[in-house]
Amino acid sequence: MRELCKLKVFGRILYVGAHPDDENNKLLTFFAQDQLVDAAYLSLTRGEGGQNFIGSEKGIDLGILRVQESLSARKTEGTRQFFTRAKDFGFVESATETMLRWDEHAVLADIVWTIRYFRPDIMITRFSPNIPDLHGHHQSSAILAQKAYDLAADPKAYPEQLEELSVWQTQRLFWNVYQESGVKDIGGKVIPLPQHFSVTIPVYNRYTGLHHGEIAAESRNKHRSQAMASLTQHTPTLEYFELLRGKSVDPTAADALFTSTEMEDQYIPVFKKLVDRLLAKQAQGDNRELSVTIATILIWMRTVSKNSVIHEKRADLELLLLRTLGVSFEINSLVDSWVPGTDVNLFLQANIPQDSDLVLTHVTVPFFESLYHQPHQLSGTERIEITGRLSSTIEPSLPSWLKEEGDRGNYSPRSFNDIVLAQHNNPIVVQLQLQFGGVSMAISVPVLNNNKAITIAPAITGTFDTDIIVLADSTSRSVSLELQSNVSTVESVMVRLKGADELGLFPKEHTLTLEGNASEKIHFQLTSLGSAEQIQRIGFEIESSYGIHQCGLKSLSYPHIEDVVYHPKAFFKVLDSPVANTAKKIAYIAGKKDELLGSLKQLVNEIELLSVAALKDADLLSFDAIVLGIRIYNTDPQLVNFHTQLREYVEAGGVLITQYNTPYDLPLEEVGAYPLTVTGERITDMESTISFLDPTHRILNYPNKIKQQDFANWVQDRALFLPKDWNSDFKPVLRTQNSDSGNEDGLLLVNRKGKGYYIYSSLSLFRQLPAAVSGAYRLFANMLSIGRLESNS
């Protein structure tokens, strides 16, 4: 019944926010499942700059994870998802800062394209364009949405879009005034003002009896990488709105949000009467009559003007017809990945009841080297095997928005489809032509393996054993590259590194025979030539009979999302810079999914990875320094049980380094073996001026002389969750200014205790080291080496 009732509803609502977890899940659920409108969420970014509480993905990889979390949330609600080219480059405090990095003209183009493509009657912003928010991205999303609302209806705005789309005038733009948001930095109650009106979301859905709060909580909890957790609300919910643009509304009206939003279309009343006939047929329980009535409506729609909105219901009607007839199609592969230029097999399983009178007339496989377009007259249950050669022009699986290089604030998509539409491009679909009672239908069916989409893999992939190498003072290091064949043939391959022109490289290239579906590891030696400090990005080229390959293999697998396999270009960074370090052996106690260990291996020859529990029996004095991973007190608060042992280590001459912890979800009032209180204060300007409070302090002088230039070329931010209220034993070393131009001295605190040192660092070194920022390496080397200064003097 709900499906048929939805056919009579033509409204569309576009909800707009800044990040994948900014949406109002309960409101979207209500729109889609109770009001039966087509609802979509437009997140301007993919959340690449956020933290990750469940895994090691960051940056672009985190963005892919958060896209999948968003798609999973939308599937739960029954809504759709869109994005723009804007990158989440991290926390900023104002819309002005945000727009310095986002390409306003291009991001607006994406929003306008989304409006013209989706054609919403109503737009709703999560944030206010007029009220500054604690996150600059938030207000920016509303400001841009308001501008795009006007531009989408202007034929002079982005006229190139009008070759495929038409201008569109959304009728109203509202702000969804947040009352008690679950998002920490939205927060706070809003006392309704006279211009605000409310919509009540009931506890239960009127069609299914399902609990709106339960659906919304399930959707909200898909954002697990952001530690989102939502409890079910068991009471009706009031949602407040303020009109920003468009036709006025009567705030006292019961349906003020939806007043007079349905399009004026002469065919809609006729279409609704026809759907009422469907409802009557369904009530009679006669599927045969129901299917014939659906076919009659589809035939009538041929006579309707192409500009009529009712054509938006065609796909829903066709799907309903197939379900009513009991018809289904599956197309499967016995393997989970295919390689362009190789022969592949797929199996079409047609399930057509004999009495359905539906006929499969044609099968088209567009992804074969030679187009497969074969007639059929299939009207029963049958399994068809189809064999062909996969087109060599199909690219390896990769999210469409990553196929071109962008800049630090924006992606550079090939098309609006590539950036706005959230799903991965899946070229592996088979087209079926069907006939029923004078109705012709064309449907696309994806090829699956174990209910998962087929991955397109290069013939050969490569994986480096490191993300970064640090070379200093004419030193050499080895890098390993593991080759993986994805084809059954034996291949003669030539492998060379690309981008290493300013380094000594041995050998220049490898030539080898790679067995079918086998792997082999090869090695290159890189040597600093002692030239000027530089960062090089080094990839590879593998030449085989299938062409030249430059891609690696990455995957995401979590229980709350669909598995993703993708093939980005593989590379590692080489920092050729003088970095001295005197620490010989250190221990690293990682936070959850902490990946700083790989960068520290470039500084210290001997690193032991310890768990918190292993501290009990560890010989701590064998380590020159012990480094605690990021957010260690958030993820493993049992560390406090070893504070006495850690203090004894420090006072006996050890160095203990604690990195930042967040005040959110922190089970302690203070953190650290020598306690201090952390705050939500961040330094988001990665170019903020750094001054030295004590230029003679040993941490700034040994073994590397730290200079102002060491704070150049930092990425995303300076520091996170700075401490406050430290005692006089802590000596602040660095100073910068926050967004209010106030001094912040908590970036790097040093506490001399006994013969050793305790260091608390809020600096975002966990971002800078993987990004090959030379100054960050020199500063971290000084932190590790500080305890060896006197013994070497």
Q: What is the CATH number of the domain that holds 787?
A: 3.40.50.880
Q: Are residues 90 and 193 in the same domain?
A: yes
Contacts of 470 (CB under 8 A, 6+ apart): 477, 574, 575, 577, 579, 602, 603, 772, 777
Q: Which tokens belong to 768?
A: 């800078």
So what's the pLDDT on residue 186? 42
So what's the pLDDT on residue 88? 95
CA-nearest of 5, 14, 17, 214 to 133 is 17
Residue 67 and residue 48: Cα distance in Å, rounded?
10
Of 263, 286, 306, the position where a domain reaches its end is: 263
So what's the pLDDT on residue 740? 73
Give the pLDDT band (50/70/90) at residue 382.
very high
Range of the domain at 91: 2-263
Q: Which tokens belong to 1?
A: 């019944």
Residue 240 and residue 441: Cα distance in Å, rounded?
43
Q: Are residues 645 and 766 in the same domain?
A: yes
Instruction: Say if CB 458 and CB 551 are below 8 A apart.
Output: yes
Q: Are residues 508 and 431 in the same domain?
A: no
How crowded is the C-beta side of 47, counted as CA atoms within 13 Å?
A: 25
Q: Are residues 641 and 763 in the same domain?
A: yes
Burial 626-637 (b: 16+ CB within 10 A, else e): bbbbbbbbbbbe
Dihedral pair phi/psi, residue 356, rounded to 5°? -80, -25
Give the pLDDT band (50/70/90) at residue 722.
very high
The identity of residue 346, as a single letter, is L
So what's the pLDDT on residue 56? 86
Q: Are residues 337 and 391 in the same domain?
A: yes
The percentage of the chain sitting over the pLDDT mark of 70, rounded to a whole number, equals: 95
pLDDT score of 26 more than 80: yes
| 750 to 209, 697, 728: CA distances (angstroms) | 60, 10, 11
Of 451, 485, 500, the position where a domain reaches its end is: 451
Specify the DSSP element, H or E, that contains 296: helix 287-301
Q: Are residues 92 and 33 in the same domain?
A: yes
Of 291, 306, 325, the position where a domain reaches its end is: 325
Instruction: Say if CB 31 and CB 56 are below 8 A apart.
Output: no
CA-nearest of 623, 495, 630, 620 to 550 is 495
Instruction: Say if CB 343 and CB 387 are below 8 A apart.
Output: yes
Q: Which residues on adjacent β-strands are paired with residue 42? A: 16, 82
Mean pLDDT of the chain, nearest integer: 91
Give the pLDDT band (50/70/90) at residue 235.
confident
Give the pLDDT band (50/70/90) at residue 123.
very high
Side by side, which strands form the sheet with 460-464?
460-464, 476-485, 519-527, 504-506
pLDDT score of 51 more than 90: no
Give the pLDDT band (50/70/90) at residue 179.
low
Give the pLDDT band (50/70/90) at residue 723.
very high
Residue 49 and residue 700: Cα distance in Å, rounded?
29
pLDDT score of 191 more than 80: no
Omega before residue 446 within 30° of 0, cis = no
So what's the pLDDT on residue 391? 96
CATH number at residue 431: 2.60.40
Instruction: Say if CB 412 and CB 406 are below 8 A apart.
Output: yes
Residue 461 and residue 175: Cα distance in Å, rounded?
48
Q: Are residues 51 and 191 in the same domain?
A: yes
pLDDT score of 243 more than 80: yes
Q: Which tokens belong to 444?
A: 């696309």
Least confident span in 245-254, 583-592, 760-769: 245-254
Helix (H, G, I), strand (E, B) or coil at 283: helix
Cα four-point dihedral sign 602, 606, 610, 615: negative
So what's the pLDDT on residue 230? 72
CA-nearest of 89, 94, 90, 87 to 136 is 94
Per-residue pLDDT averaged across 556-577, rounded? 95
Cα four-point dihedral sign 456, 457, 458, 459: negative
The total of other beta-carbon atoms located within 10 Å of residue 374's CB is 10
Per-residue pLDDT averaged across 230-241, rounded? 83
Contacts of 559 (CB under 8 A, 6+ apart): none
Give the pLDDT band (50/70/90) at residue 329.
very high
Instruction: Say if CB 65 and CB 24 are below 8 A apart.
Output: no
pLDDT score of 410 more than 70: yes
Residue 76 and residue 215: Cα distance in Å, rounded?
7
Give the pLDDT band (50/70/90) at residue 429.
very high
Q: Are residues 585 and 647 in the same domain?
A: yes
Length of the chain in terms of residues written: 793
Secondary structure of the chain: what % helix, strand, coil (to 5)? 25, 30, 45
Q: Are residues 561 and 600 in the same domain?
A: no
Per-residue pLDDT averaged across 69-78, rounded? 96
Instruction: Name the DSSP class of 272.
Output: H
The identity of residue 176, as a single letter, is N
Q: What ranges in 308-412 are assigned the alpha helix state H?
A: 314-325
So what's the pLDDT on residue 263? 60
The total of other beta-carbon atoms located within 10 Å of residue 232's CB is 15
DSSP per position, 764-787:
-HHHHTTTT-HHHHHHHHHHHHGG
pLDDT score of 436 more than 90: yes
So what's the pLDDT on residue 208? 82
More confident residue, 133 or 344: 344
Q: Which residues on adjacent β-strands are paired with residue 361? A: none
Dihedral pair phi/psi, residue 612, rounded to 5°? -60, -40
Cα four-point dihedral sign 642, 644, 649, 650: positive
Q: Phi-psi bin for 713: left (phi > 0), alpha (psi -120 to 50), beta?
A: left
Omega before residue 507 within 30° of 0, cis = yes
Dihedral pair phi/psi, residue 600, rounded to 5°? -65, -25
Q: Which residues on adjacent β-strands are paired with residue 569? A: 551
Q: Are residues 558 and 633 in the same domain?
A: no
Helix (H, G, I), strand (E, B) or coil at 315: helix
* Total of domains in the chain: 5
453-501 pLDDT per residue, tens: 999 999 999 999 999 999 977 689 999 999 999 999 999 999 999 999 8
Residue 267 and residue 758: Cα distance in Å, rounded?
75
CA-nearest of 258, 250, 197, 233 to 34 is 258
Instruction: Say if CB 145 and CB 138 are below 8 A apart.
Output: no
| 778 to 597, 600, 753: CA distances (angstroms) | 16, 11, 23
Residue 763 and residue 746: Cα distance in Å, rounded?
9
Give the pLDDT band (50/70/90) at residue 288.
confident
The identity of residue 469, as a single letter, is I
Q: Are residues 278 and 357 in the same domain?
A: no
SS (H, E, C) 10-42: CCEEEEEECCCCCCCHHHHHHHHHCCCCEEEEE
609-651 pLDDT per residue, tens: 999 999 999 999 999 999 999 999 988 989 999 999 999 999 9
Give the pLDDT band (50/70/90) at residue 424.
low
Q: Are residues 399 and 443 in the same domain?
A: yes
pLDDT score of 326 more than 90: yes
